[in-house]
Amino acid sequence: MRSDKIDHIGIAVRSIEERLSVYRDLLKLELTGIEELPDRGLRVAFVKAGDTRIELLEPISEDSQISKFLESRGEGIHHIAFHVDNVEGAIEEAVSLNLKPLSKEAEIGAGGTRVVFLHPKSTGGVLMELVEGHH
């Protein structure tokens, strides 16, 4: 597996609208879309920063994938996502390197991408997402 770029940086926020004042209004980054992922309890917004995107993650349910993170750590950087050509191959290779995928198979991410997260305890404290496909 080889990753040729950072796909996005995920940032946990309590309110997308509130935080857009930084990314869209101050930095003048383009808001490329807002999407709801009900099965993950999330609303996500993407802003474009050159070739990389910033993903703002807002909980829409109490048991969302970022609720515990926001409770314990507050708002901030949640994960770094790297683009991969083949997420299944990436999962196999990660396991062979004693890294710990959070799921055995790819899940559907924002924009219909196929994704897997790697446990931060196996990557040196960074929650990593491997992403196949693009918006």
Give the tens place of pLDDT for each residue, 56-91. Answer: 999 999 999 899 999 999 999 999 999 999 999 999
CA dist., res. 95 & res. 82, Å (int)? 17
Into which CATH architecture does domain 6-132 fall? Answer: Roll (3.10)
Against a cut of 0.85, is the pTM above it?
Answer: yes
**CA distances (Å), origin 55, targets 8, 9, 78, 112:** 6, 6, 10, 15
CA dist., res. 115 & res. 34, Å (int)? 18
pLDDT of 111 reads 86
Give the tens place of pLDDT for each residue, 17-46. Answer: 999 999 999 999 999 999 999 989 999 999
Q: So where are the chain's domains?
A: 6-132
